[in-house]
Amino acid sequence: MLLKTLSFSTLSILFVLIFIGGYVSASGVGLTCPDWPLCPAGLVPLQDFIIEYFHRTIAAITGLMVIITMAFTLKSKQAPKEMKIASIIAGSAVIAQITLGAIVIIERLHAHLVTLHLGIGIILFSMMVLVTLYSSKIQNNNNKKTSISNLEKSTVS
Ligand code: HEM
Please give the pLDDT value at position 68.
98
**110-134: string of b/e by CB count within 10 Å (b at 16+)?**
eeebbebbeebbeebbebbbbbbeb
Closest CA to 70 of 51, 92, 52: 92
Question: What are the tens digits of pLDDT across the range 126-137?
Answer: 999 999 999 999
Determine if ligand 1 sits within 6 Å of the CB of residue 30. Answer: yes
Locate the domains of the chain by residue range: 2-144
Provide the whole-model pTM: 0.94
Which of 11, 23, 24, when mutated, tests ligand 1's pocket best, judged by the most ligand atoms within 8 Å of its CB?
24
